Structure formats: structure tokens, C-alpha cells
Structure 1
Amino acid sequence: MTTASTSPYKLASARDLFALTKPRVMSLVIFTAICGLMAAPGSIHPIIGFTAILAISLGAGASAALNQWYEHDIDAVMKRTAGRPLPAGRMDRETALHFGVGLSVFSVLLMGVAVNWLSAAILAFSIFFYAVIYTIWLKRSTPQNIVIGGAAGAFPPVIGWAAVTGDVTLMPVLLFAIIFFWTPPHFWALALFVNSDYSKAGIPMMPVVAGRKSTRRQIAGYSLILTACAVAPFAMGMTGAVYGVTAIVLSLAFTLLSFRVGVSRTENPGAMQAEKHLFKFSIVYLFALFAALVADRMIFA
């Protein structure tokens, strides 16, 4: 019989359980959810609003834990993920699975009981989409993994909106579209200069399957669709000038950086400055765009 002293794993630490939630990724999820909540028409009690964001955060963390449970073998061979709790041997897979499932159920029930069941249903579907459709089905089977899988990260502002209004209208759909079309350029820019990691792990990311030239062209193309989605709320009269000017300026900069990537012929990952600049700016872009949406709502409400 295996005892605690002979088990190859130690009891999972709080730090490792927290690491399972991918806190750096979660920060963007939380931020866009808060922006969706604050940009929604109407009002929500601060305690209920806090509970909604907590539930979304827990749901995002649950998705990340289930992702790492399933991808422990991939993480072990990729340099940037080898230090995670499972591949580093600091936690067993069963613990990660139980943690992810338990957190999923709790987050959805918390949202449903404390806020409303529409937002809870969208949260449940977002967890399912990331953990099953993206992680288990798409990621290892198609170079469109990021394109379709981008929907998983696009749900938070919709959930935040639904938490306030109890419905989903055109505006949250546009917020969803912004993140959805932002995701491929963001991740493919990263994939271009960590291509060897994905190749070694056998993940069919676009640069691995279609090559760098095709990926760069697609990044430029997606930037144009993203620009149209970002400017649409202002063009359709749903926001004021604060958001409109910010969206136009930021999207122009994003497009210019994307076209720099599109015409680049650099093959050495260490010299891919255009790709690195786009990846870093893409994070600033999304934070600034959603912050402008909230500022616009506060000014023109």
C-alpha cells in the first residue's frame, strides 16, 4: 500500500493550486469581464457585481486547471511550460482534475444563485468550450485551434454584461467579436518566435503547419477584421467619442504592426522584433480598448 511518505508527489501546495489557474491569463479575463459589467446599461449592487466577477474568475481558473490536467504531456516538452506544477512533478493529475471540476461546479452555481442563470449558463459553456472543445478536441487536431478556440477567451465581457442586464444584445456580441478576432494575431505573433516549442510538442499551430509566410499574411488579414469590429460600436452609435477615437488610433497602430509582421522575412526567432513588438502591443491594445469603453460609458452615461 502506498503511503504519504512513499508517494512520488507531495501534497499540492496553495501556490501550485494557484499556479494551475494561470493567474497571468486570468488577469485579462477578469479585466474584460469587469469592463463588460461596467459598460452594461443599468446598475448592479456592488456585492452582486463583486460576486459575478469572482465567479467568472473562478470559472477561468477552473478552465486553466483542466487545460493543464489534460496537457501535462505537452507542457513537459515545452520550455516555457515545463515549470508548471504537473510537468515539474509537484502535483499529481488526479488533484488537478478534482480541483478543476470542483472549481467549475462551484463557480457556475455561485453565479446562478447569486446573480442570474443566464450569466451562469454562459459561464458554464465557456468552461466547457475551453476545457473540451479547445483543449481536448481542437488544439492537437487542427491549425485552426486558436481561431475557433479564441471564443473561449471572448466570453467574459458577455458574461459581465449578462450579469447586469440579464440578456445579451448586439453590444456584448461586438465585444465578443473584438476578442475573438484579436486572438489569432496575438497568439500567432507569439507562435512565430516560439515555433520550435510547438513543433517539438506536436501541436499544429499555424506556423508549424502552414509556415511562417502564410501565418504572417493571416496576421495582417485578421488585423483588418479586428479593426472593423473595434470601430463598429462607435460607427453604429453605441459609444461616444472617447471610445471611438481610442479604437481608431489603437487599431491603426495594431494594423501597422501587423503589416510589419506580414512583410517580414526573418527566420531567426531571436531576431523577430516585429513579431515581438506586435505580441506585446496586442496585450496593451486590448486593455486600453476596454478601458476606453468603460471611460466612455462613465462620461456619456
Structure 2
Amino acid sequence: MTPGPTHVARTVLPIRDGAPQTEREDMLAEEVPVALEYNGISHATVLATPADLADFARGFSLTEGIVRSPADIRGIEVIPRADGIVVQLEIAAACEMQLKARRRAMAGRTGCGLCGVETLDQVVRPVPPLGPRGAVSLAAIQAALGDLRAAQPLHQVTGATHAAGWADARGSLRCVREDVGRHNALDKLIGATLSEPREGAFAVVSSRASFEMVQKCVAAGIDTLVAVSAPTALAVRLAEEAGLLLVGFARGATASVYAHRARLDA
């Protein structure tokens, strides 16, 4: 379901070699406020591309620790409004109680300023380490990278979106999600692939690998993350601790392995 256009046309003035050119039409990616409500409780508002929002809600809820498993989500409704979109989720009572307790704790503490809402211990929250995992082949990674750009129709039109792809052990892309935000794209992918087998498969993203990207993958049981740009030091430390194979600067036949290199079958 797409509750609104993902891109719009605007007239722009191109400048080439310092000189104005003839005005032309350009396509711009949309980003709209998306509010997430859990059992009627308003929890978070993000700016996102208005597509695959049910997938986003599932992935966000799992990777942010609001629900413990997909079974804790009992229903999702996407409601367009004049000033944005509201995604209403019905979650298990135990998860609602945990969410209320978390919000009370946030209200009683001094915030660290990150996103204006969360404290330090809530940002770097613990995630259970991944169990023993098998190897991922370099050939599969290269195959997935080679197909990722062609699987980004919104980026091809606007040039303004990130993508997250799910590839099987052979490197065939099984699912791709796009969004103006790299975290949103990954949450959408996670939400769309919750029932996919994790063994031998991996995620590939068209962005850098921040700590949050690694954290989200580990929370979703994804044991390999391939990024086209660099990871951060905190992301590498979490990947090492959690057992995640982390590959950065993955472009064509070039890549750098930052964590759990023994799991790469080169």
C-alpha cells in the first residue's frame, strides 16, 4: 500500500560550467511525517518515503525493541492524514506495558540529546549475540551488489533514496526496499523479510554501516551486513561482539571486511 506519491515533479534551473541552462522538469523523492502509534500510544514520528509503511512498522517495532517477535504485532493500519501518515499498531499487552514503562523512564531522566528523546543507555541497548553462523561467499556478495542498483526504481527516477536488499546464498536479491532514510530502508526490508530463512542469506545496503544499522540487523537475526560505504568504529565493535560479518566499501570486486572475516568464503 502506498498512501501517497513517492515522488513529485518540479521545475529546476540547471547550471553547467557556471552558466544557467534551459529550465527542465526534475523528479523529487517525497518524504512525509510518519507517526507510529502502539495501542493508541503515540511513540515516534519519522520522516520517510510513503511506501511499504506496514513493512517499516514491523521492522521498526522489532529492531527498536518494542516487540519481542513478529507474533507480538496483532494488527497494522496505515491512515493518511492531511499533515502526514499515522501507522496504528495493535501489540501484545506485555509489550504495551514495557513500552509505557520505557516512556516513564525516559520522562524521568536527563536526555543525551540524540534525536532529542533517548538516553544513552537506550541508544546503545544490549542485543543478544547471534549464534554460530556459516560462511557467506564473496561471489554471492558481488552478485547482489551488481543487481542492487537496477532494483532501485525510485533512486533511478530521483537520485535521492537509499536501498536495502535481501540476498540468498547465491547472491540473488529476494527483496529490496527504498527510502530517503537509510535506517528506514533497512527497517522496511526487515519487516518485509521476517519469515525469510536467515541461513546463508545477507543484507546489502547502499549506504554507510552505522552502529544503528548493525544493531538493527543483529536484533532481526541477520548475521551479515554488506555496505557500499564505510562502517563506524562503534558499528565494528558491535559486529565483533555480536558475531556479525561486516563488509564495507563493497563496490564491484572491491570490499573491506571489518568483522568476522573467517566467515567470508573468498
Q: TM-score, normalised by structure 1?
A: 0.20
Q: Which has the higher contact order (CA 8 A, sep 6+)?
A: 1
Higher strand share: 2
Q: TM-score, normalised by structure 2?
A: 0.22
